[in-house]
Each structure stands twice: as C-alpha cells, then as structure tokens.
Structure 1
Amino acid sequence: MPQTKDAAHAPIALRDACIVAAREAIAEHGIEQLSLRDVARRLGVSHQAPYKHYPSRDHLLAEVMRRCFEGFAAHLDARGQFDDPGDDLSALGRQYLDYAHRHPLEYRLMFSTPWPASAAHPDLVRDAAHAFDILRQVLRRVHGDTPQQQALVDLDALYIWSSMHGLAGVMTGNCIGQLDLAPGVLEQAMRHVMSRIGSGMAAP
C-alpha cells in the first residue's frame, strides 16, 4: 500500500490503494472474483481495513466504475475545442474510440458491467451522466439550446452514442481480424461512420 509521511493522509492512501488493487484483481480474474478480502490480501493489510472506506464489495465496485467514467469524461474533454460544432463532434468521436482502444478494461467496466445493486451510488450516476452530457453540449451547439430542441438533442445523442459504442465493440473485438476486409477499410471506418452520422442528422 502506498505510504505517506503524514499519518493524517494514511486513510486517503488506503482508499485509493483499494481502487488500484480492485482493478488489478478484475483484470486478472474477472469481476466475479472481486472481493474485499482479496483486495486486503493484495495490499498487505488486515481483512477489515478496506471496510473502513467501502462497506461492501458493491460499494468498492461502484467507486471503481465511477472513476472509470471520471477518466473517460476527462479524456473526452481533452480533445481540444473547435469553433465548428461538426468538427467538434468528429473530434469527440475520435476521442471515444481512442479511449476504448487505450483502456479496454475500463471501457468494459463502464458499458458491459451491471451496476452494483446493493450500493448507493449517486456519485457513479453523476459521473456517468457527465460523460453523456459532453455529447449533449456539442449537440446543443448544432441544434440550439432551447427547451423545444431538448428532445432532438437527446435523440441524436443516443443515436451517436450507440453508433460509436457499436463501432468500438467491433474494432476491439476478436472477430474484426478475421473478416477479410478490403485494404484501408479499418483506417477509414471511423471517418465513414462519422460522415454517415452527419448525413443522418442533416436529413429532414
């Protein structure tokens, strides 16, 4: 477990160390095998120590997932800013796929893992919604930021999100290398999907 010179900071170090150990456990053995006992063993602390910060395994998992969404949103925000909302939307798509490629474990935790049912997780809800709101913000620049346009913003957000999620799943899956695709298709896939999304949004 990471140590600090100031004893007052030790609880914070343990809280964060539990997250690191939990991610390692999930990466090695899958989410089904995650337990506070295993986390304690990995950190070399008593079996009861993690319970000071996480009342249950579900509370720990909820915090792991929350931090994944937090990092995901930060990655989306790091795309840079563009005056043209269409360019901004394309940049957002590139960042989405880049995150899925660079962080496959975190991506699976966010989008392929049922949320822990027995843990109260308002912070997880907040950070997951924030990642989705980044897309909404760009679409408000496209459609306008009036109450009348909110339904269209949400519909297009779901349309784009599901399209990028599907593409990310295909691009990171085992099947993609067995499809005998024409040369250059994979390199063009993201631009092609974003172009189709743009055409779909422009249609009456």
Structure 2
Amino acid sequence: MGIRESLIEESLTVLEESGPEALSARLLAKRIGASTMAVYTHFEGMPGLYEALVRESFIRFGAHLSRRPNTDDPVADLLASGLAYRDYALTYPQRYRLMFGITSPSITLPLGRDVTVDGNPGALSEINTVFAQIPAFVRRCMDIGAIDEGDPVAVAAQIWTMMHGYVLAEIIGVFGTDGGGVTRVLAPHITNLLVGLGGDRERIGQSFLRLDPPPQPTPPTTPPTSAVRPGRRTGR
C-alpha cells in the first residue's frame, strides 16, 4: 500500500475513532510514519484529503448497497437496499457525517447540486453513481406496476431524503439503541410512502417477508372507543 492509500485508510480509522475534527496532517503523518509534507504532496493539503475521503467513502458505500444481487421482486430489492443504507450509516456514523457535509464548519466540500435538474445530486461523480442505484430500483418497481408510473428520479429523491433523515435520527439515538426503530418507524414509513406512490400494502408486506431478517412493519393500533376523548389527540 502506497503513502496516499495509507493516508486514506488511516484517516478513515481516525474518523471513526474520534470524528472528523480530529483529522490533522501532523497526526496522520505520525500514524503512518511519514512527514506532514505527505498530505500536501498527495492531496495538496487537508481540503484535498477530505475530498478524497468523501470520494472513497461513497465508492465503498455504493459497493455495500449493491452487495445483494437483484431478485425477481423489485420491491424487496428496494427495501433491502434501504436496510443496507442504514447498515452502512450506523456502522460508520462519522464517515457518514463527513460524506454529507454534516461535520466541522471548517470542513467544506463540493457536495450538493439540484438533483431535479439532471438527476445528479452531487458535484462529485462518486455521489452520483451511488444515487443512480435508487432510480434504477424505482424504475423496476414501476415497470411491474408495483407503484405508479412517474419520474424515477423524483421518487428516488423522496426515498433518499426519507432514509437520510431516518439514519441521522437513529445515529443520535432518537429511536433507542436496540434497532427497534426499523420495525416501529422505518418499515411503516417506507410502506406508507410506497402506498402513497400507488403500491399495495399487502403486496409490500409480502416483499418485507423476503428480506433476511424480515422487519415486519408494526401494524397501527386503534384504541378502544371508550378511551377516545373528543377534541383531543389520541397519540403522541
């Protein structure tokens, strides 16, 4: 492994150990036994290293999302990709923060652009390659009539923003630490979104059963009539 690759690998390790704020040319050079000039020689400084880390992280993210081969059930494949998305984000939470620019104010990256213009959400090709997997899943669902016809990119953007919001909340512990948010929140959320897009709730439930393990959405419960008070919300 060359110095450039060693710096990237060591940076990813430091990132998960201590967060992006801990990254420095001096620390990284010391950990790989090189001079601080190595960071400037190979990345033209820390901003270049941050960008290289984001690029490499998205490459690994994309590989993780595509690890499961497609099946004859496009909805199950879409759901599985969502679980893989969550798995990566929770396994590498600090990396995920850096990838999406949710990090130190001193770290600025060329990340975002308007996905509704040409289907590309990022200024880096590695981001766009990962996002392109989602419209492909959506297109397959549309082709078999599992959801209504429409703009696959727009639907993919809805799914991505849902997943992004969910994993950020789970990372900070909003849904506890036992993983129960998958069945209590995430599965019902994606189910409701797909139903709103024209999907059949029962059919979506069958697709959940094809996952390993199958995170069955928690069915909504209706309180007894006597427990309902007019003019008040019955749940929080």
Q: TM-score, normalised by structure 1?
A: 0.75
Are the aligned partners of 1:75 and 1:99 in contact in 2 as well (CA < 8 Å)?
Answer: yes
Are the aligned partners of 2:58 and 2:127 in contact in 1 as well (CA < 8 Å)?
Answer: yes
Task: Compute the RMSD of aligned alpha carbons.
Answer: 2.7
Unpaired segments of 5 or more residues in structure 1? 1-11, 118-122, 179-183
Task: Give the AA of the match of 2:140.
Answer: R
1:72-120 Cα shifts (integer Å, max 9, x gaps)? 1011101221222212111111111111122212211112246435xxx
Per-residue deviation, 1:199: 0.6
Q: Which deviates the most, 185-194 or 161-170? A: 185-194
- Measure the CA separation in 1 of the matches of 2:91 and 2:42: 29
Task: Give the AA of the match of 1:202.
Answer: G
3-state SS of the aligned residue for 1:53? Answer: helix
Greater percentage in helix: 1
Per-residue deviation, 1:46: 1.9
- Measure the CA separation in 2 of the matches of 1:33 and 1:160: 32
Q: Which residue of 2 aligns with 1:116?
A: 109
In structure 2, relative to structure 1, the CA distance for the partners of 1:156 and 1:64 (3 Å cut) is same
Summarize the alignment of residues 8-157 of structure 1 with structure 2, pairs less than 5 Å apart.
13-111=2-100, 112-113=102-103, 115-116=108-109, 125-143=124-142, 152-157=151-156
Per-residue deviation, 1:57: 0.8
- Measure the CA separation in 2 of the matches of 1:18 and 1:106: 15
- Measure the CA separation in 1 of the matches of 2:165 and 2:65: 18
- Measure the CA separation in 2 of the matches of 1:191 and 1:98: 14
Unpaired segments of 5 or more residues in structure 2? 111-121, 200-236
1:17-43 Cα shifts (integer Å, max 9, x gaps)? 111222234345442443323221222
Identity over aligned pairs, percent: 30
**4+ residue stretches of structure 1 with deviation over 4 A?**
none
1:25-66 Cα shifts (integer Å, max 9, x gaps)? 434544244332322122221222232211111111101111
